[in-house]
Structure 1
């Protein structure tokens, strides 16, 4: 007999309240599916946490080979609350016939809105002006004249689901949008009104560079000293994706030297950001703790998407947003998917 669907313990605060608010778990109950929070808050999912469960919804924990050590009845689906999966060992999950899902439908608008927020905040020097007022330096406000978004060139690193939504949000501002994404079909970019170009052109032509790519071996330190040296002196860098895509030491040098005008960062090479980081003392940098997109909209969007993935698997349907697509063709996965509904509801 199956155990209930598991929800990772990191969703709860010290008082047992869900830190994200409503994440749509009532849809499981409406579908007649039992669920429970895992008993321990662990850095990675453990064998005891996943054994015998039809699915696990998780946010912070990693998924490694240790997660499956000795497991005889793994979940059919591990549903991540979010779009990143760099801490999930996909080959190991596939080898164990476990589908891993993410929530691009839930994060799409919250993250694109967050990116637009960071663009505007950086161009308007919001951080510096906030600090001037708090320090009682009202008379220095003319030193931080901002720049309007209208008519600027926005360079996107990555033209996926969320970047596409940002393109739509930028349209009223009359911006020119260019993008570097070697995996984006040219016809798709053309339909969006976006010109695909090389990474060097993104650096040289953009007034704002926005990092929205997935962290991979190819994108690690894609934004490096060479890239930053080619940017306009008045340009800004925005990163709402993953910290290691940007060489942080090179960025600090570029900000100190005036190679670029500013940055707005929600993510960092090492998180949490050290309190002695040089970034913290810079007036031309806006910093947020990997949470700029965290809103009630994201909570319910991500949660609802993860819940749907679990319900689909239990009701013998392949979930929509599976990132290890190879698992869908495995005979063992298909056999487990077929019998899942009767097992869980028995």
Structure 2
């Protein structure tokens, strides 16, 4: 029956034209501007499916109150704002969109690397204060021949390497889950974390946010970096222990940082990172281009369409819990 299902978008999207195009004849689409857990719980209670972005959470209590939900699509890569176990136990698929925006994040990472290497922010600030003198931003070192360390060599990490090598950078990679030998096809060296930190002039982090990677870059790892090295994070904020980073910058353990994501967003007005000249900040925008957002929205909505047709999503992230529950919403058995 046309439009027999009801899909709720919890946050970010105010005009769901892309989602309505994908779900035309399948479901009605209702956008919300939820800002807290109670608003989320109320919005999703009668939804057949939910599309959620990154500004709110979908906790166990809200999931428990969902009366007929079949699927939750996380518009983005990370899904730490959704209780996967609670959803799986209720037979609700959860999916993400891991393959959008790869080019944008890789471009952004390399852009940040060049910006801190060439000291663009410092020179711009000097000129705007009336000082036309590059000597005030010295030293600047030739990029060719320096070493980039990539932590996490998945879609984005490998895309960064493809952009870095033509610049003349030596590229090291660390990823305990990488299939042996794959790094050779990208022309990078696979090393342990200690070696990467000790030898890299730039360290960029690209693993998913998990219990294992939470605060991966903390006091010990930051102290293992060169005092002339820069840390780049265009992945997930909590991968970097922000308090430890601030301390490392104040103590001179590293030369600086380029951050697209922070542990707490937006940052508090008194966050010391906002006042440090050796810190380059962008507002969680590495993923963004007009093309990437459209791709993201379309793929998220397509997964919802699959679920509402009784199919599993293209990229499920809670399959282990679905198998444990043995049922998906509507009584369909797991394959």
Aligned match for 2:34, one of 20, 36, 41 = 41
TM-score by length of 2: 0.89
Please say if 1:6 is aligned against 2:8.
Answer: yes
In the alignment, the residues of structure 1 paired with residue 33 and residue 288 of structure 2 have an alpha-carbon distance, to the nearest angstrom, of 24
In structure 2, the gaps of 5 or more residues are none
Aligned match for 2:233, one of 230, 239, 247 = 239
The CA RMSD over aligned residues, in Å, is 2.4
Equivalent residue for 1:264?
A: 258
Aligned match for 1:68, one of 48, 58, 63 = 63
Equivalent residue for 2:105?
A: 111
Equivalent residue for 2:89?
A: 95
Could you give the per-residue CA deviations for residues 234-281 of structure 1, whole angstroms, max 9, x where no partner exists? Answer: 211001112222122222222223322211011122221122122112
Q: How far did residue 289 of structure 1 move? A: 1.9
Write the mapping of 1:1-346 to structure 2, written as runs, cut at 5 A: 2-12=4-14, 24-29=18-23, 31-44=24-37, 46-59=40-53, 60-73=55-68, 75-327=69-321, 329=323, 330-333=325-328, 336=331
Could you give the per-residue CA deviations for residues 322-344 of structure 1, whole angstroms, max 9, x where no partner exists? Answer: 11122454532186458xxxxxx
Equivalent residue for 1:344?
A: none
Given that residues 13 and 31 in structure 2 are in contact (C-alpha distance below 8 angstroms), is that contact kept between their aligned partners in structure 1? no
In the alignment, the residues of structure 2 paired with residue 134 and residue 183 of structure 1 have an alpha-carbon distance, to the nearest angstrom, of 46
> Structure 1 pair 303/141, CA: closer, same or farther in 2 (3 Å)?
farther
In the alignment, the residues of structure 2 paired with residue 297 and residue 147 of structure 1 have an alpha-carbon distance, to the nearest angstrom, of 35
Q: How far did residue 197 of structure 1 move? A: 1.9
Given that residues 261 and 284 in structure 1 are in contact (C-alpha distance below 8 angstroms), is that contact kept between their aligned partners in structure 2? yes
Given that residues 204 and 233 in structure 2 are in contact (C-alpha distance below 8 angstroms), is that contact kept between their aligned partners in structure 1? yes
In structure 1, the gaps of 5 or more residues are 339-346
TM-score by length of 1: 0.86
In the alignment, the residues of structure 1 paired with residue 154 and residue 88 of structure 2 have an alpha-carbon distance, to the nearest angstrom, of 24
SS at structure 1 position matched to 2:328: helix
> Structure 1 pair 148/302, CA: closer, same or farther in 2 (3 Å)?
farther
In the alignment, the residues of structure 1 paired with residue 172 and residue 46 of structure 2 have an alpha-carbon distance, to the nearest angstrom, of 48
In the alignment, the residues of structure 2 paired with residue 34 and residue 129 of structure 1 have an alpha-carbon distance, to the nearest angstrom, of 53
Given that residues 8 and 50 in structure 2 are in contact (C-alpha distance below 8 angstroms), is that contact kept between their aligned partners in structure 1? yes
Q: Which is richer in helix?
A: 1
> Structure 1 pair 34/270, CA: closer, same or farther in 2 (3 Å)?
same
Given that residues 180 and 197 in structure 1 are in contact (C-alpha distance below 8 angstroms), is that contact kept between their aligned partners in structure 2? yes
Q: How far did residue 103 of structure 1 move? A: 1.1
Could you give the per-residue CA deviations for residues 11-66 of structure 1, whole angstroms, max 9, x where no partner exists? Answer: 23xxxx57xxx7x325324x522332344523247444334433211112211111
> Structure 1 pair 318/3, CA: closer, same or farther in 2 (3 Å)?
closer
SS at structure 1 position matched to 2:80: coil
Given that residues 105 and 301 in structure 1 are in contact (C-alpha distance below 8 angstroms), is that contact kept between their aligned partners in structure 2? no
In the alignment, the residues of structure 1 paired with residue 87 and residue 329 of structure 2 have an alpha-carbon distance, to the nearest angstrom, of 15
In the alignment, the residues of structure 2 paired with residue 80 and residue 121 of structure 1 have an alpha-carbon distance, to the nearest angstrom, of 32
Structure 1 stretches of 4+ moved >6 Å: none
Given that residues 222 and 248 in structure 2 are in contact (C-alpha distance below 8 angstroms), is that contact kept between their aligned partners in structure 1? yes
